[in-house]
Structure 1
């Protein structure tokens, strides 16, 4: 019960910060108040280099070295897809050594393909939790603060909320002694409905369960085109955020992202008092991966 009360108090505190900051910024002459108080560190999501790694042009084991040497970024967010068939203590030791040698912080392990955390039956949910455990152990060895999971489920709106929350709590109970958070990204389906995902957070009501708001992943149904307003979505997910993903697609000649208003988005992020890491995740086609990463990094630096 104490743990649940702690999580509830944390949520209420963050919500109060958001409400107060929004009210203050609306006062005459206070529109840029948050700008002078901003602090966040910049990390790199490994998916930004997925074409390079999948093609064999570069070795994903060198991710931390590339992050420092090529982009001068000090934090990394791993993606399990690049290591799925060869996870071992030797691999994790290699990744950790290279991150340490490069002076790079290992922050997240993003996990895909290990089952639905909100599966219909309790047995299926438990199997998904068990599938995630090896990646949680690897994240702990690397020194990460969180694992990123997907809130995939099935059933009605309410059933999916309850089932996803149950699976997340089960996984959080394993991760808590490891010092790891379990965070959910808006990543398609109902998870891209920020109202639903916020309700999952409240239902889970666990201090280790949180969100990873992504600036770009708000398409709920690709077939119908149904989507959630990205700015409202990030605003609703930030009270639970333990990391942030600055998704980008394309930039103009002035270095501004052309489909996402980054200044507006970072105003929303900073209004909550967030001061953690903001991850560069370039996913566009207009620029090369390296150019897209640098453009996103530089835009974030200019907003800091």
Structure 2
């Protein structure tokens, strides 16, 4: 491990000034009148899955197509390169060359960190190590995970404490945060999840509150329509509970009216809560709409965030 750390340290020095997060990325309240905005790679998932865009060029796309200088990667687009340190060093240089910060590695499609089976849970934890290592090379401050497991919250509590706690211990050695996103079921129960965070009691464990994933009766938690979601955790309450532990905020968006307002999520209320908190990280655009193109959705979300933020001044 020491040799790997030395290798990483030497090979990322050229990119460090840009790709490492700012000293206040997860710290105290900003003095700036405008928010720091990042782009979540999932906003372009249709294009990446269709291979009309190359994930290798994500930093360049964010900067040159949208004027955004901070990015959040999604592991699904790099599955074949997960353990390739040369690849991740090249990605770090690409971001550095564009003047883009690498903030978060979002991890999906791995086994459940709260699996009730001890051996499966241990494997799930270890399967996340490669993404922590990739995030370290990129200069990210966090790895976003899903705190899933099969069972009721009471049944899962001990398993989540163990799985998430073990992964956080590993990540902390690399100075990488593990952050939990509200992604449906018990993970969207902010009170329950903050209880897990408090019990783990590790400063490297935090949250990534998402504006739109507060459905308690469906995995992934989308509240885009009421059809599949019959039990919603109040988004304003959940956001307030998650923000003290937040290392980022995911500004989910689905649809916009003719005036550029989001029609599903109460953006003024939620952004107001963020503005009035001590959060000083990036607000990440995560467009998931289907009735407009991904580029249109990204631009509409960015314009909305900036317009509402200015109204608070």
Report the TM-score range of the alignment, normalised by the length of the smaller protein.
0.7 to 0.9
Q: 1:198 Cα shift?
A: 1.6
Other structure's SS at 1:100 match: helix
Q: 1:118 Cα shift?
A: 0.8
Structure 2: tracts of 5 or more residues without a match: 1-27, 219-227
Q: Distance in 1 between matches of 2:32 and 2:97?
A: 32
Look up the match of 1:210. 206
Q: Does 1:46 align with 2:41?
A: yes
Q: Distance in 1 between matches of 2:118 and 2:34?
A: 41
Look up the match of 1:112. 108
List per-residue Cα deviations over 1:77-96 (Å, max 9, x = no partner). Answer: 00000011233123212311
CA RMSD of aligned residues (A): 1.9
The alignment's TM-score, normalised by the length of structure 1, stands at 0.85
Relative distance call for 1:67 and 1:173 in structure 2 (3 A) is same
List per-residue Cα deviations over 1:199-228 (Å, max 9, x = no partner). Answer: 211222211111100000111213562221
Look up the match of 1:9. none
The question of whether the paired residues in 1 share the 8 Å contact of 2:257 and 2:263 is answered with yes
Q: Does 1:251 align with 2:256?
A: yes
Look up the match of 1:199. 195
Q: 1:160 Cα shift?
A: 1.4
Other structure's SS at 1:264 match: helix
Q: Does 1:286 align with 2:281?
A: no
Relative distance call for 1:292 and 1:157 in structure 2 (3 A) is same
Q: Distance in 1 between matches of 2:229 and 2:295?
A: 33
Q: 1:64 Cα shift?
A: 0.4
Q: Does 1:96 align with 2:92?
A: yes
Map residues 9-158 of structure 1 onto 2, 5 A cutoff.
40-87=35-82, 88-158=84-154
Q: 1:40 Cα shift?
A: 3.1
The question of whether the paired residues in 1 share the 8 Å contact of 2:36 and 2:282 is answered with yes
Look up the match of 1:233. 238
List per-residue Cα deviations over 1:67-106 (Å, max 9, x = no partner). Answer: 0000000100000000112331232123112111111000
Relative distance call for 1:251 and 1:118 in structure 2 (3 A) is same
Other structure's SS at 1:221 match: coil
Q: Distance in 1 between matches of 2:275 and 2:200?
A: 25
Look up the match of 1:30. none
Moved more, 281-290 or 200-209: 200-209
Look up the match of 2:7. none
Q: Distance in 1 between matches of 2:163 and 2:145?
A: 11
Q: Which has the higher helix share?
A: 1
Look up the match of 1:12. none
Identify which of 264, 267, 283 aligns with 2:269: 264
Q: Distance in 2 between matches of 1:210 and 1:91?
A: 28
Q: Distance in 2 between matches of 1:48 and 1:175?
A: 26
Relative distance call for 1:219 and 1:167 in structure 2 (3 A) is same
Q: 1:173 Cα shift?
A: 0.8
Other structure's SS at 1:64 match: helix
Structure 1: tracts of 5 or more residues without a match: 1-16, 18-33
List per-residue Cα deviations over 1:151-186 (Å, max 9, x = no partner). Answer: 002333223123212211101111112110000000
The question of whether the paired residues in 2 share the 8 Å contact of 1:38 and 1:270 is answered with no
